[in-house]
Structure 1
Amino acid sequence: MAHGHGTGAPAGRERVAADAAARGLEVEIFPRQNASSLAEAAGILGIRPADIVKSLVVKRPGDEFLFALIPGDRQISWPKLRAVVGVNKLAMPPAEVALAATGYARGTITPLGSTTAWPVYADESMVGQRVAMGAGEHGYSLFVDGDALITALGATVADISSPA
């Protein structure tokens, strides 16, 4: 397996591919041009904004985190997510904290290949959908079957979003 130059650590998309393979999850990783908005990204990929899933790193009390998988046309519903997780405080950490928690820069974050396998919460609207998401590296996305992703990650499926 090829490694990132100079660092000794695999490049982000290689970590994603290796983790997906280890989980028996089929993913299609592909280069994509940069987009200035989610709507533009969806247009480039030829899909609906709802089919782009954002992997959001959420801080729990203590030094614990979780991933919230939210469709592109929706946003986290903090009351719903707190209820599902069973805590009274959740927050979006600064970008450098998210990077330290996952090994991925904002805009490339995915639960696949994260340096720590934090719990994953997937919005129920992903069920039955083929979705695009970050692939661990700028300039790349991946397509994956939402149900297969949920199963491979052992994700908790719940209504955790509201319209954006």
Structure 2
Amino acid sequence: MSAERARAAIEASGLEHTVTEHGRVASLEEAAAARGVEPRDIVKTLVVRRAEGDHLFVLVPGDREIAWPKLRELLGVSRLSMPDAATAQQVTGYARGTITPFGSLSALPVVADASLTGDPARTISLGAGAHGVAATLNAEHTLAYLDAQVADVTSTPTHSASLS
């Protein structure tokens, strides 16, 4: 049901998009190939906890990871954490690995990494509420629709990335 909620929210946004269903994948590269995009264009939607009952979405390019000091500075807090899978699902209605800002049970603020902007023609691929289901949309239009706060909040990972 969560995939239907996500698709309905994406449709309701009016954003031009393509939905891809490819099933589970074992790597970022495999997901990118299945979706017809570059690994940097796969966007992970992460739920971050600022305080009890205070969460936000952070949109992170697939080839990057959250730079916690940068995100803490942006948000003006000294501590952030990732909620456990059950809490993330309770807040969003989506299981970990399927989370999307579209159709979330809670309207959460969105922070998007600055590396997602700058090219008006760039497309990004976000999860769409189920494992192996994604929506590919124009990056600039999507971030504007989500009223995302755009900032440098990521870094290049020190280890290889994977998707769950």
Verify same fold: TM over 0.5. Answer: yes
Unaligned runs of 5+ in 1: 1-10
Given that 1:24 and 1:152 are in contact with CA atoms closer than 8 Å, whether structure 2 keeps it comes out as no
Q: What residue is the counterpart of 2:151 in the other structure?
A: 158
Q: Give TM-score, length-normalised by structure 1.
A: 0.88
Whether 1:52 aligns to 2:42 is: yes
Q: Does 1:134 align with 2:127?
A: yes
Q: How far apart are residue 139 of structure 1 and its match? A: 2.6
Q: Distance in 2 between matches of 1:122 and 1:74?
A: 12
Compute the displacement of 1:85 (Å).
Answer: 1.4
Superposed displacement of residue 84, structure 1: 1.2
2:139 to 146, 151, 158: 146
SS at match of 2:30: helix
The percent of aligned pairs where both chains have the same amino acid is: 46
Determine helix, strand or coil for the equivalent of 2:143: helix
TM-score of the two chains, using structure 2 as the length reference:
0.88
- Tell me if the contact between 1:17 and 1:27 (Cα under 8 Å) persists in the aligned partners: no
Runs of 4+ in 1 over 4 A off after TM superposition: none
User: How many residue pairs align between the two structures?
Assistant: 154
Distance 1:49 1:135 in 2: 17
Deviation per residue, 1:7-66 (Å, 9 max, x gap): xxxx22221232223333222222113211112211222322101000000011121100
Alignment-derived partner of residue 116 in structure 1: 106
Q: Which has the higher contact order (CA 8 A, sep 6+)?
A: 2
Query: For the aligned residues, what is the CA RMSD?
Result: 1.3
| Aligned counterpart for 2:10 among listed residues 20, 25, 39 | 20
- In 2, distance between residues paired with 1:100 and 1:135? 17
Are the equivalent residues in 2 in contact too, given 1:15–1:113 (CA < 8 A)? yes
Correspondence 1:88 to 2:78 = yes
